[in-house]
Structure 1
Amino acid sequence: MNETILDVLVYLFEHYMEAPAAEPPSEEALRSELEEQGFDEEQIERAFDWLEELGERQESLPGVVAPGAIRIYTEAEVARLDLEARGLLLDLEQRGVLDHRTRELVLDRLLALDEPHLGREAAQWVALMVLFSEPGREAAYAWMRDYVYQLPGGALH
């Protein structure tokens, strides 16, 4: 199969993160299930690394930015993030779903996917996972979940 790290992460999110069981499965059990589902061992390993790095980045990113600061994308970011992905991030920030800190986490985790081209779908899934893992961002996560699953209340206008 030709799955990406994002495919593994979405599978984990939909099956374990959003609706956790009373007793979460061990990492070994998760890896075994992912392999049974046909995911490549290398992509599984990279997905677990991605999740671990998300936790590390959450602790290390500064929480304050100058008022009125504007995010300018680097040439490398523009080359990998298409216009729709960048537009989605701007829209989410303007709506208050992302703040500057969570936006930077989303960008960091998007680029860590190691894909040459990242579009809107990747950006929305990564934003959802970042918001899920951010304490105090429950309302933003709920809005983003509705948007990703296209439930009423989450539609962007």
Structure 2
Amino acid sequence: MMDILMYLFETYIHSENELNVNQDELEQELLRAGFRQDEVYKALNWLEDLAALQSEDASQNIATSSATSIRIYSDQEQQRIDTRCRGFILFLEQIGVLSAELREMVIDRVMGLETADLQLDDLKWIILMVLFNVPGNENAYTTMEELLYSTDHGILH
């Protein structure tokens, strides 16, 4: 499913192409590109759930915290999000790329992937998609994009 999400993001969001196609056309394009139908449905549902996180009702269900609090991950979250990925999320919070609300959106979308093999690069793409999808985070998006495309790995994982 990550391959489909990355394909869509790079094809429509990260390029000049418009995402004005209807879901049936988009589904057909993905099938022609060689993606399996069940994975296409999962990816499109994942994107719908991401968009739904912006609604007022959904945002009220996302916990917020003070600057001095720390996120405790559930057992399920710890199984899906390894120590390295959790450390990266914390790092992004500390440098101001992710707020507590955005962090919760990222965790929600990671848990929505239905995969046990989340890699750090996958997490970075998810964070980029969340930041792109939530208005008012242009600076955070730019910083995350630089982290994603940076060839100098230095101290950043």
Q: TM-score range by the shorter chain?
A: 0.7 to 0.9
What letter matches 2:38 in structure 1? E
Partner of 1:97: 97
Paired with 1:73 and 1:21, the residues of 2 have a C-alpha distance of: 38
Partner of 2:141: 141
How many angstroms does 1:101 deviate by? 0.4
Partner of 1:111: 111
Paired with 1:13 and 1:94, the residues of 2 have a C-alpha distance of: 26
- The count of residues paired between Structure 1 and Structure 2 equals 151
Paired with 1:9 and 1:120, the residues of 2 have a C-alpha distance of: 15
Paired with 2:151 and 2:128, the residues of 1 have a C-alpha distance of: 14
How many angstroms does 1:20 deviate by? 4.1
| 1:84 and 2:80 aligned | no
Partner of 1:56: 52
- SS of residue paired to 2:65: coil
CA separation of 1:143 and 1:67: change in aligned 2, threshold 3 A: closer
- Preserved contact between residue 12 and residue 19 of structure 2 (Cα < 8 Å): no
What letter matches 2:12 in structure 1? Y
| 1:10 and 2:34 aligned | no
Deviations 1:91-142 (A, max 9, x none): 1111100110000000000010000132211210100000000100001001
What RMSD over aligned residues (CA atoms) do the two structures have, in Å?
A: 2.0
- Preserved contact between residue 84 and residue 119 of structure 1 (Cα < 8 Å): no
User: Which 5+ residue runs of structure 2 have no aligned equivalent?
Assistant: none
CA separation of 1:140 and 1:81: change in aligned 2, threshold 3 A: same
Could you tell me which of 38, 46, 57 is aligned with 1:42? 38
TM-score after normalising by structure 2 = 0.87
TM-score after normalising by structure 1 = 0.87
- Preserved contact between residue 82 and residue 117 of structure 1 (Cα < 8 Å): no
Deviations 1:47-95 (A, max 9, x none): 1100111111222124742342210111111111111111111111111
How many angstroms does 1:30 deviate by? 1.5
Identity of aligned residues (%): 37
- Preserved contact between residue 4 and residue 40 of structure 2 (Cα < 8 Å): yes
- Preserved contact between residue 58 and residue 105 of structure 1 (Cα < 8 Å): no
- SS of residue paired to 1:61: helix
